[in-house]
Structure 1
Amino acid sequence: MSTNKHGNEDSHLPPISDGHDPATETEGLDLVGVSSDREETAYAWDLATGTIIWEENAASIIGVNDIRQIETGAAFHALIAPEHLSSRLEVFSRSASEGDRTRGVPYRIQYRLNPGGLRSRKTVRVEDHGYWWPGPDGHPVRARGVIRLIHERELEQQRLLIHSDLDELTGQLNRIRLTEALGTVLSRAERDRTSHGFLVVAVNNMAVINDTFGIETGDQVIAEVGKRIRAKMRGGDIVGRYSSNKFGIIMMNCGTAALRRATDRFVKVIRETTIKTTAGQLAVTISIGGVVIPDQANGIQDALNFALRALDAARAKRIDCAVLYEPESSGDIARVRSKTVADSVISALDNNRMRLALQPIVSAATGKPSMYECLLRMQRPDGQLIAAGDFVPIAEQLGLARLIDRRTLELTVELLKKHEDLVLSLNVSGLTCADQEWLTALRRVTEGRKNLLSRMIVEITETSAIQDLDQSIAFVDTLKELGCRVAIDDFGAGYTSFKNLKLLNVDIVKIDGIFVKNLADDTSDQIFIKTMVDLARTFGMETVAEWVSDEHSVKYLMDVGITYLQGFYYGMPIDADDYKKPQPPSGSGSFVGLGS
């Protein structure tokens, strides 16, 4: 524990009030209230802007040539060893309580830095400790800390930290740290649009060596192979022991051609000389499987699986060689896309990047919006919005539908609370019809308030409704008891009989847009819609025509008695944040659609 010139111990970081802004301290910066000694420096980090203000000695302490190399959080993180970056990010990713806004949240962590960049062999170990303060949402907005060098004399005291990083036999990263490093590199590759390589190297015939000469000899072989591979790696590349006879190698900034050259080096260095063991000189060979990331794999599991698949192909050749992964079929591409979608959806849910767009559903009688359908959008980290049709079908197949429906419910209720004039409809998947937890969540987020529930319409698709009719009937009945209305969506796309439609006892029937888009020219569609409207009226149900896009269709639909119209003719979806309560028209004109 260090002591400053005033005799205060440890981090010397007194709490500051919520109104204090460390980023304004630009002259005579003394972030910790003391002059740092030659082994430590201090910083103030504004997480909102990413700016870091350092104490004057920071460049010399950390070992960078220019303080501008570490003047942002992103730039500093780029110098942290991949196996340790996630640990530091976790410190600043959790939320804090109201009381922590004044006293701050303490943190203390140790990690390895590469001051010359990840390709450099120069490394230092540091201890980073301080306080961070949360904003209104409970997440960090600023931090003040001290970075202290850890020297060789302390490494023995830090044995447990080192042991948690390294494999005891080979001295390389263990599987856990190797996997964490791979995840960090993948994230950076996505952000920086760079290519890297991931290799799995297997020592051949280890079972024979262990059976013939003993496990101790086998361990000597594995340790020597790891040492030789390390010697042929470039600065900044990462190697770890993946399993008993396998190593994983992360090749930084490495395309396909460079990856092939690297595998040739590794194969040659093992093949060219024998390995000395206590049992004598042994000839050993290796096989290698590789994959280019994130081009061919943008997730940890895909990178591992594809590299192992390529390794199997290399070992099947029965010679020491390397094989780089190539997609075998459209199925491989589909698996990669599914994994990408799943990762994106989970990230968006975890980071509150799901958004709602609202499309008006217009009353045929008044020509004005009576309600709005909530259309889900996923916002990527770069701000781009992805329509539900591009991710929901895959997400449903991967079992993420319930999570998506839960978040859609929360966003819908937030809007209903914000705008007392809004009536909203939201879609739920077939799985949610059997999800009692969703109904529990509905009661919880609405607090049972009838003024919210009565302005909510829950849409279930025809195809999901008929999969388990009894279950769907019970779901509809529960919603109506709570005070919601229920609509059956995409009616006509499946095979629901009119009898089943009556049993479901929904309030609204939404006619599938496939019967509407060619309505002006297709007499069979005209007959179907007229029949459907008449039948719904008999059952006491309202009707909505989807995909309305032209004036001729509007006229026919109104003539046959449709209740509501929805489509681009009456309005494109708008961001929910842009919704404003419609103002009464200045004249006597009716609502005018986009197509007018």
Structure 2
Amino acid sequence: MISGRDSDGRSAGPPPEDKTPSENSERIELLPEAEGLDLVSILSSVEETAYVWDLRTGRVDWESNAPEILDVSDLSQISTGAAYHALIAPEHLNVRLQAFSRSVGADNLRGVPYRIQYRLRPGGLRSGKEVRLEDQGRWWPGPDGHPQLARGVVRIVDDQYLEQQRLLVRNDLDELTGQLNRIRLTQALGTVLSRTERDRRSCAFLMISVNNLAVINETFGLEVGDEVIAEVGRRIRAKLRGGDVIGRYSANKFGIILMNCGARAAETAAERFIEAVRDTTIKTTAAQLSATISLGGVIIPDQANSVQDTVNFALRTLDIAKSKRFDCFVLYEPSPAGDGARVRNKTIAEGVVSALDENRMRLMLQPMIATRSGKAEIYEALLRMERHDGSLVSAGEFVPIAEQLGLSRLIDRRTLELTVDLLMKHSDLVVSVNVSGLTCTDKEWLLTLHRLTAGQPDVLGRMIVEITETVALQEIDQSVTFVDTLRELGCRVAIDDFGAGYTSFKNLKLLNVDMVKIDGAFVKNVADDKSDQIFVKTMIDLAKSFGVETVAEWVGDERSANYLIDAGVTYMQGYYYGQPFDSSDYVKAA
């Protein structure tokens, strides 16, 4: 047999219902031998062979290299379907038989595709010889709709090949839904963006969210929630056109790339997806459930010309859709104000990352004056970002954006490195340093602290770690653990902006801190505002009752300082006692 032909040299293509395979075959014109195309040699080089199987007669015609590839003594051992099946491992035989029993009544012209793997024992079922095969091809039905003819290719597969296949699936597809994972989805989006800009054709990118998944997870469990996600993904995929792409972006979100699609077509497609999910209940192991979806979309490249912008705009419009009502689709509309803020945030984030990479973060020190001595006994470390031109940016301008973008841990670790280095250089220096809310749950920060200080009690004892009151109260259990761990290491702990959370009195007892810093909003007018005076005096007295020291922030004039001294505050900090200065200018106090 020549690959793609019956033994008599005729094509093994699909037959019409009133003719046999050989009667309906058409000759295939092979390239002249002079062209050097030796199909048998090519198949052998990749450990493959080919066959044509007449299921009515049982006859199987193999390519001439089949004995070599399958390790059988001669073709008579595998010349019929029954003989070949007798060599397939019993646990795998049904796998091959079922491949020819599905899709009865399928397309007579194109046939039914199959791709299966099984083990073959060329020396018989009792022999120790075994090969693992991948069998891929198509079968065509006869007049009764059942398989009449099959032709395919068999290849040897080894452990390396199987591992490559597993890696391909794992790297490309989401495990739950079988759709593209987030990485491959965004890569596909990048490719489509390049093509649309080149071909000047519009496409749409939709972000889809399952609305009621949180309720389903809470009521029936995460397993049932996963069933809903998988079914929603299947329904949406079934409504895609050829060439469209779907992937799972996150837990309950899908991303869809609609090829050659404008605004109106995107709205039509969105309604199609909404109906597919809404109109029929979803059968799960727990119950018949209903699900709804919301969608946000953006037209590319008209409204976005980068992957980041496309995804961000789609997520933004998805949030708008979810806030309006269920079963809602919102198409992105440019907003000059929003786009300006986005560009500014992006610039800030890029500046922060660049400054961290290039060691352009600087520590400034602001003194805390002890009321008992009138001297600076503690200095608060304030972070500044140095621009390329040497100018400094205060933390208030970049830290809030950095926190929103998940950069606060990187900032806190760099601040920690600078602080420890400073404490190592100056044995008399006591430094108070702020950390973000995320750091309160960051075990790596604590490990870094211990590593940088080498566990030296002298260094750790001269560090005060500040956490804001609002953060401490949001995650009170984690904050208690964080505070206790720091104090075990030898550090002191302060609550910053004390009083801003309005629940300070109830929760102060839970946090075993050493110091509270009274929010400057209550201090700046304390010399004249009676209500601020009462509030500040109450907080100072309360802190004293717990054996906790106090710091008054934003002290700006002598009258305020005198009131605070009379009220019993422990430390004062503000421009009245000095503005922040570069830590490199610190000199040992006399």
Normalising by the residue count of structure 1, what TM-score does the alignment of the two structures yield? 0.46
TM-score (normalised: structure 2): 0.46
Larger radius of gyration: 2
